[in-house]
Amino acid sequence: MTIKEAIKHRHSIRRFKEAPLSDEVRAKLSALAAECSCDEVSIRLVCGDRECFDTFLARYGKFKNAYNYFALVSKKDQDTDEKAGYMGQKLVLKVEELGLGTCWVGGTYSKGKCKAELAEDEKIICIIAVGEPDEQGTKHRSKPMDKICTVKEEDMPTWFKNGVIGALYAPTAMDQQKFTISLDGDEAVITAGKAPFAKIDLGIVKYNFEAASGHEVR
Ligand SMILES: Cc1cc2nc3c(=O)[nH]c(=O)nc-3n(C[C@H](O)[C@H](O)[C@H](O)COP(=O)(O)O)c2cc1C
């Protein structure tokens, strides 16, 4: 599966198979977590944690067997939400290529019960559930292009249109898609609207745009 296919194929998976992940799969996921970490955001794999999703909200959100997840961690005094979105989405698409399912989770888990090891000066930004899917899942409903983009479709360069399509496939918290894409000269610019988790969403959307268009975004 190419990264462009992964962008189209991905949708959130909240119900996973009961069986623990094999050592081989764990090793692959750990390696990807390390590969997608950076100076500001450390991504840590936690396996077999039966408490983190043992909350009313997680059950209400229909999570099942969500025992494995990546914790996205940064220093307490830094605002790294956008970077976390960017690096996390890179990871999500690589995991998709392995044939596993993921779901970004900012709210419906227990921060207090989360088993990721943290230093005194670190915080969890959000987590990403991961595992063998036990459901098909469904694609999210997307806004039309003209609701998220200031450029008319007929005026879009091909690379830009590919990026906009990739951005529309990106997961956003509560499926809000509150971002705006514009063109400044020959540079794409994406800005976040006001919404919970909007900066994480912004990083995710930027990653999808860049991967789908092959062009850097401001
Ligand atoms: C930053 C962020 C936080 C999210 N938090 C939650 C959450 O707390 N609980 C949940 O069930 N889904 C959560 N989601 C998943 C979104 O609801 C989902 O991505 C969106 O509805 C689009 O659907 P899709 O991922 O299938 O394309 C979150 C997604 C993002 C990007």
Kindly report the CA angle at 145 between 139 and 150, in degrees rounded to 5? 145
CA nearest ligand 1 atom 19, residue: 171
- Which of 103, 108, 114, 165 for a ligand 1 pocket mutation test, highest count of atoms within 8 Å of Cβ? 103
pLDDT surpassing 90 at residue 139: no
Q: For residue 90, which of 6, 200, 207 has the smallest C-alpha distance? A: 207
Going from the Cα of 198 to the center of ligand 1, the distance in angstroms, rounded, reads 12
Taking the model in full, what pTM does it have? 0.97
Q: What residue type is 106 in one-letter code?
A: G
Which residue carries 């991961």 as its tokens?
130
- pLDDT at residue number 110: 94
- pLDDT at residue number 58: 76
Q: 14-28, 54-68, 114-128, 188-202: which has the minimum mean pLDDT?
A: 54-68
pLDDT surpassing 80 at residue 65: yes
Contacts of 177 (CB under 8 A, 6+ apart): 142, 143, 147, 148, 168
pLDDT surpassing 80 at residue 75: yes
Going from the Cα of 183 to the center of ligand 1, the distance in angstroms, rounded, reads 27
Going from the Cα of 2 to the center of ligand 1, the distance in angstroms, rounded, reads 23
pLDDT surpassing 90 at residue 36: yes
How many beta carbons lie within 10 A of that of residue 110, not counting itself?
14
Instruction: Judge residue 204's burial from the number of C-beta atoms within 10 Å of its C-beta, 0-12 exposed, 13-18 middle, 19 or more buried.
Output: buried
pLDDT surpassing 90 at residue 183: yes
Inter-axis angle of helices 81-97 and 198-213, to 10 degrees? Answer: 50
Output the ligand 1 site: residues, CB below 6 A: 11-12, 14, 61, 103-108, 126, 140, 171-175, 197, 200-201, 204
Class of domain 145-213: alpha beta
Instruction: Judge residue 37's burial from the number of C-beta atoms within 10 Å of its C-beta, 0-12 exposed, 13-18 middle, 19 or more buried.
Output: middle
Give the three-class secondary structure for 180: strand
Q: Are 217 and 100 in contact (CB under 8 A)?
A: no
From the CA of 200, give the closest atom in ligand 1: 1
Going from the Cα of 103 to the center of ligand 1, the distance in angstroms, rounded, reads 6
- Comparing 3-131 with 145-213, is the CATH topology the same? yes
How many beta carbons lie within 10 A of that of residue 85, not counting itself?
31
pLDDT surpassing 80 at residue 60: no
Domain 3-131 sits in CATH at 3.40.109.10
Q: How far apart are CA 214 and CA 7, in angstroms?
A: 13
- pLDDT at residue number 61: 75
Which residue carries 């450029």 as its tokens?
151
Going from the Cα of 178 to the center of ligand 1, the distance in angstroms, rounded, reads 13
Domain residue ranges in the chain: 3-131, 145-213
Going from the Cα of 12 to the center of ligand 1, the distance in angstroms, rounded, reads 7
Chain segment 103-138, per-residue pLDDT in tens: 999 999 999 999 999 999 999 999 999 999 999 988
User: For a pLDDT cut of 90, what percent of the chain falls above it?
Assistant: 93
